């Protein structure tokens, strides 16, 4: 049975940990508010950009553009798993890593390369056999559209040159404070939802729609990547906030349990001392 000194030391240690988890929860809540504001601000622009792109694409031969032309067989594929740079956010990182491994195993591509975004994904896959084409760590410390443009420019050039046949990205989509959904999205070649668009409004474009489409498609891909990174950043803070709240609650329960154990041991010790005193006094009287 542990001594009262050991239990007091354990209670003090758990209380210190509880203070840390409570502080981390408050920090995550503050970061979450800022991440949500940026994410919600990006969503309308991404939707409007997609709408303009759909309108233009109905008026040109989209099959002639390399970013829209699907390859007959996806032999060389680039997969982009998006994780966080730090842990202590529940199953946020492990869900992405598991989904990436399962996706590669199920599709059974002839050749797969990775572009891990986030230190957790890079640390995991650099010890595996799958080659890493490029790594992007610490992007969430100062996330900006320029960061997404630099990452997107590389795989766009590789796709146009024919080095890769498709680009898939796996990330956590922000649903709510307590829910994130793993999404697998094909970045390249671009999906074509405008094929189902009916009765489009007839606009006049200057310069022509072909020139606008040529300039707009790379921007669309780069901004979609930026939106995905914002979604992942918000989802990360939500997952960390939930994990730290659960850790703080578990610490409170552990403190209550240790305090009860401490009181029982202390009461048993006092009772034993009283019995010894009474027994000694009775023996002295006899």
Residue 18 has pLDDT above 90, yes or no: yes
Average pLDDT of span 225-234: 94
Structure confidence at residue 152 (pLDDT): 92
Residue 147 has pLDDT above 60, yes or no: yes
Residues identified as active-site: 89
Structure confidence at residue 47 (pLDDT): 84
Q: For all residues of the chain together, what is the average pLDDT?
A: 87
Residue 138 has pLDDT above 80, yes or no: yes
Structure confidence at residue 173 (pLDDT): 92
CA dist., res. 105 & res. 214, Å (int): 35
Structure confidence at residue 64 (pLDDT): 64
Tell me the pTM.
0.85
Structure confidence at residue 9 (pLDDT): 93
Structural domains present in the chain: 4-21+244-280 (1.10.287.80), 23-241 (3.40.1380.10)
Q: pLDDT tens-digit profile of 247-256?
A: 999 999 999 9
Structure confidence at residue 227 (pLDDT): 93
> Both tokens of residue 126?
């650099």
Q: pLDDT tens-digit profile of 23-76?
A: 999 999 999 999 999 999 998 888 888 877 777 766 666 666 777 777 777 889
- For residue 227, give the nearest of 183, 195, 165, 194 by alpha carbon: 183
Q: pLDDT tens-digit profile of 158-209?
A: 998 889 999 999 999 998 878 889 999 999 887 765 555 555 556 666 677 6
Structure confidence at residue 234 (pLDDT): 94
Residue 258 has pLDDT above 80, yes or no: yes
Q: For 57-71, 78-92, 133-147, 257-271, which range has the lowest pLDDT when averaged over its residues?
A: 57-71
């Amino acid at each position: 049975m542990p001594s009262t000194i050991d239990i007091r030391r354990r209670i003090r240690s758990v209380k210190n940990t509880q203070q840390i988890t409570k502080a981390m929860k408050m920090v995550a809540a503050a970061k979450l508010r800022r991440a949500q504001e940026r994410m919600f601000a990006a969503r309308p622009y991404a939707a409007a950009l997609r709408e303009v792109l759909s309108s233009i694409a109905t008026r040109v031969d989209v099959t002639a553009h390399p970013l829209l032309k699907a390859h007959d067989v996806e032999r060389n594929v680039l997969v982009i798993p998006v994780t966080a740079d730090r842990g202590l956010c529940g199953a946020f990182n492990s869900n992405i890593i598991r989904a990436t491994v399962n996706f590669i195993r199920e599709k059974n591509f002839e050749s797969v390369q990775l572009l891990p975004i986030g230190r957790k994904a890079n640390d995991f896959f650099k010890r595996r056999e799958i080659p890493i084409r490029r790594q992007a760590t610490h992007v969430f410390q100062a996330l900006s559209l320029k960061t997404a443009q630099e990452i997107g420019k590389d795989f766009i050039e590789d796709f146009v040159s024919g080095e890769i046949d498709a680009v898939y990205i796996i990330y956590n989509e922000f649903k709510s404070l307590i829910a994130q959904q793993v999404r697998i999205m094909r970045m390249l070649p671009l999906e074509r939802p405008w094929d189902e668009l009916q009765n489009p409004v007839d606009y006049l474009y200057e310069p022509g729609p072909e020139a606008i489409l040529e300039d707009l498609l790379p921007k669309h891909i780069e901004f979609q990547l930026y939106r995905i990174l914002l979604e992942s950043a918000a989802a990360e803070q939500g997952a960390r906030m939930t994990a730290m709240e659960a850790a703080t609650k578990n610490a409170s329960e552990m403190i209550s349990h240790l305090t009860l154990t401490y009181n029982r041991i202390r009461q048993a010790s006092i009772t034993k001392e009283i019995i010894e005193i009474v027994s000694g006094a009775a023996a002295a009287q006899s």
